[in-house]
Chain A
Amino acid sequence: MGYEALIDRLLKGDTRAAARLITIVENDIVAAEEIINLIYKHTGKAYILGITGAPGSGKSTLISTLTNIFVEEGMKIGIICVDPTSPLTGGAILGDRIRMKKHFNTNNVFIRSMANRGQLGGLARATEDIIKILDVYGCDIVIIETVGVGQSEVDIFRSAQSVLVLLVPGMGDDIQAIKAGIMEITDIFIVNKMDLSGADRKVSEIMQMLELSMNFKYDYQNTNQKSANIPKWIPKIVKLNSKTGENFENLLEIINEHKAFLKETGVIENYHLNRIRNETLQILKHKLTKKVEGLIHSNTQIDEYIRLVMDKSMDPYSMANLIIQLLGIE
């Protein structure tokens, strides 16, 4: 109902319209469907960077510095900062903005804080939609920042063209702390605070881990069998200091190299196919979960099955198969 006016303003680059549309898609999946339906044809221009790392690894400083460089090159940047929702209260404190203040008071940087709202909130689905809004709003680059702890955050990173993971020397086993699924789709490992002792050890730890896992990225994402023919990007490791900017040019070079790799090898097409596949999966998961949840609590046929299972006349697996038939999927 009547999102056209907002979308008109969004297409003209109106910041308030972008902000309001984000609020709507974050809160309301029905509205999100209508909005995405109207703007989808305008999407596809933004380059998407996913950045993760343990708390204290310097993500925000890195993003600040990167953003400054991009803005100076004349680009418009969107940043989505995801923080965890408290499982006890459902509330969240979103404190990333504090570290990206001041110099971002320009029209060329749009920062949005977001709570992950647990597994059921459909984080990956909402983030995908927000990326699209920022894309249509005119962002050349959209950066997604998370602490990378949950499965839904791994799913977000499947929307990113380049995935960057930040690690810090001497921070204990941060490699283990990062959700394994993210490691497997990482394109660039950044060892921040390179002047600390232990930076080289961190690099060799990463190399060891890479040797063990032998670069899952494109195999992992691909469900069709032809992936053996697709060129593989060997993840790169950069040491830098995000505060002083030391070695930053290396990072920029590698990001560009990765961009070029995607384009020149045609892997980008694969990326797009996978992104759509993954996004569809997220939407389906969300919709089907809702539907199944509705069904299981209010369907008289299912009530009967449950009684049968209780009487040991049926087992739960068989019941599940019957319910799937009921949904008409199989």
Chain B
Amino acid sequence: MSENRKIKVLVCKPGLDGHDRGAKVIARALRDAGMEVIYTGIHQTPDDVVNTIIQEDPDAVMLSILSGAHNALCPMIMEKLKDNGIDDVLVAVGGIIPDEDKPILEKHGLMGFQGPGTELKEIVEFVKTNLKR
């Protein structure tokens, strides 16, 4: 768009799982790649996530879920985004996502699925190449 354009990314942990090590490491890596990262912390309900997306208007959203709650939480977040007319934000989910869940999540428009052991530069590249605006 112009002179000052920075990629703005929301990193958040929906659900109750408190394992935020991965999310924080990713937040730092994205920052070190020159992005502006909003970190919302743990225990975000789908409404919290969507409300934050509306107000902060990020280019990308990285959800981190390790508890197995992704099948319940992610589609709900995507539905609520759609209800609010938001379709130009990259939404990715990482953590522990079994292969067989991926097609369902993909159908809801989610991407990514970075699991344990994913290299940070791979995640940075992923964000850069999959932005929707």
B17 contacts partner chain A, Cβ-Cβ < 8 Å: no
Task: Find residues 65-120 in chain B having any chain A CB closer than 8 Å to their own CB.
Answer: 84-86
Give CA–CA (A20, B35) in the complex, Å: 18
| Closest CB in chain A relative to B25 CB, distance in Å | 12
Residue of A at shortest CB range from B88?
A: A20
| Closest CB in chain B relative to A114 CB, distance in Å | 8
Q: Is the CB of B56 within 8 A of A113?
A: yes
A226 contacts partner chain B, Cβ-Cβ < 8 Å: no
Complex contacts, B1 vs chain A, CB 8 Å: 24, 27-28
**Cross-chain contact of B55 among A30, A86, A112, A117 (Cβ < 8 A):** A112
| Closest CB in chain A relative to B11 CB, distance in Å | 9
Size category of the binding interface on chain B = 20 to 34
A245 contacts partner chain B, Cβ-Cβ < 8 Å: no
Contact with A along B26-45 (1 / 0, CB 8 A): 01101111111111110010
Complex contacts, B48 vs chain A, CB 8 Å: 101-102, 105
Q: Is the CB of B31 within 8 A of A86?
A: yes
Give CA–CA (A192, B5) in the complex, Å: 37
SS of A interface (majority)? mixed
Give CA–CA (A19, B10) in the complex, Å: 14
Complex contacts, A97 vs chain B, CB 8 Å: 38-40, 52, 56
Q: Is the CB of B38 within 8 A of A91?
A: no
Q: Is the CB of B47 within 8 A of A23?
A: no
Q: A16-B84, A19-B57, A98-B39 are in contact. Are A28 and B34 (CB under 8 A)?
A: no
Complex contacts, A309 vs chain B, CB 8 Å: none
Give CA–CA (A7, B6) in the complex, Å: 23
Complex contacts, A30 vs chain B, CB 8 Å: 2
Task: Find residues 60-107 in chain A having any chain B CB closer than 8 Å to their own CB.
Answer: 85-86, 89-95, 97-98, 101-102, 105
Tally chain A residues at the interface, Cβ within 8 Å: 35
Residue of B at shortest CB range from A121?
A: B4
Complex contacts, A89 vs chain B, CB 8 Å: 31-34
Residue of B at shortest CB range from A91?
A: B31
Give CA–CA (A167, B2) in the complex, Å: 39
Give CA–CA (A19, B50) in the complex, Å: 13
Q: Is the CB of B2 within 8 A of A112?
A: no
Complex contacts, B8 vs chain A, CB 8 Å: 23
Give CA–CA (A95, B56) in the complex, Å: 12
Give CA–CA (A291, B35) in the complex, Å: 27
Give CA–CA (A26, B85) in the complex, Å: 22
A111 contacts partner chain B, Cβ-Cβ < 8 Å: yes
**Cross-chain contact of A93 among B6, B28, B34 (Cβ < 8 A):** B28
Task: Identify 6 new A-B residue pairs, CB closer than 8 A, beyond the known A92-B37, A95-B38, A112-B56.
Answer: A20-B57, A23-B8, A28-B2, A95-B39, A101-B48, A122-B4
A interface with B by C-beta (< 8 Å): 15-16, 19-20, 22-24, 26-31, 85-86, 89-95, 97-98, 101-102, 105, 110-113, 115, 117, 121-122
19 contacts between A and B (CB under 8 A): A15-B54, A16-B54, A19-B55, A27-B3, A27-B4, A28-B1, A91-B31, A91-B35, A92-B31, A93-B28, A93-B31, A93-B37, A95-B41, A97-B56, A101-B40, A101-B41, A102-B48, A105-B51, A112-B55
